[in-house]
Homo-oligomer: A and B are copies of this chain.
């Protein structure tokens, strides 16, 4: 077992001081050609690599980003992680992932754990429970400790930080517009309980599209589904809810769903009821995941560009981290209270597939 070699060991072996080794390895002009050569050769031979932890302690920065998301087995979130990882890697950062599991407490614990020196900044999406409780003190506490946060997708005005969001309103608007233009007269909305702002915005987009076309918004055509904790098993309930909904409202000829699961389930149910898609009913979903791509018929969706969201979030965070560096170097620490934070909106895009005409 060859443990990693340290500066001290090299120094001892070559009979020079630690400082000399350090300088030689960084190519300092202070050290003579000769010794530099000798030390570098030795270091290469023993595959010396500086210890990251020691560097982190010395520099008081870890070059690590903490990602905190509600759930990882989820297409959208994993694409976001991929985006974050991509730019983080490129810019010399690592990512450490925490899962809140939609729980307020786990969110707090995870943050406190990582905020104790393990990471330089956070990229996160708020858990449902936190949104329900509307308790955001842990975010503000973290920020006031000097640890910047970037929130994505599920964000909240009460916290002053950079944000990257999907243009949920316009995404929904565009989707419903398309349904209308495609000739749909009675467009249903399949949505969740709207304490998650995201759902609320999509509903607003739906309503606005109808209004723009002078279509009366019939509240009977809006089905709100309770997406409580045990989502996994609720698939049958989901199906029967949609089934009954379609039975009661036989005039529906277009469906806009706020996620792809609702959309494909609606297609499934509709087909069982004898509807042809897209001939009798056209369907558009939000979120462009595997399901949409491989459903039969494949689903027209509003793509959220998760990877792009991740990239932008990472860039925003790292930009701020490195800006802070400069400020600190200048011994000029600006009053953060008037720092202007960026809210970046990522445009959606409609991916047309077989579920619309």
Contact = CB atoms under 8 A, between A and B. Distances in A.
Question: What is the total number of copies of this protein in its complex?
Answer: 2
A96 B65 CA distance: 10
B50 A53 contact: no
Interface string A47-72: 00111111011000010100000001
Interface of A: 1-4, 49-54, 56-57, 62, 64, 72-75, 78-79, 81-82, 85, 94-99, 112-118, 144-146, 235, 261, 264-265, 267-268, 271, 289-291, 293-296, 333, 336
B94 A81 contact: no
25 contacts: A1-B144, A4-B115, A49-B112, A49-B116, A51-B57, A52-B118, A53-B56, A53-B117, A53-B118, A64-B118, A73-B78, A74-B78, A78-B78, A85-B97, A85-B98, A85-B99, A94-B96, A94-B114, A95-B97, A97-B97, A235-B293, A267-B296, A289-B290, A290-B290, A295-B296
Given A51-B116, A144-B1, A293-B235, A94 B85 contact: no
A98 B50 CA distance: 20
A266 to B, nearest CB: 11
Contacts of A271: 296
A94 B113 contact: yes
Contacts of A3: 145-146
Given A1-B146, A4-B115, 10 more contacts: A49-B112, A51-B57, A53-B56, A64-B96, A72-B85, A78-B78, A94-B118, A95-B96, A268-B296, A291-B294
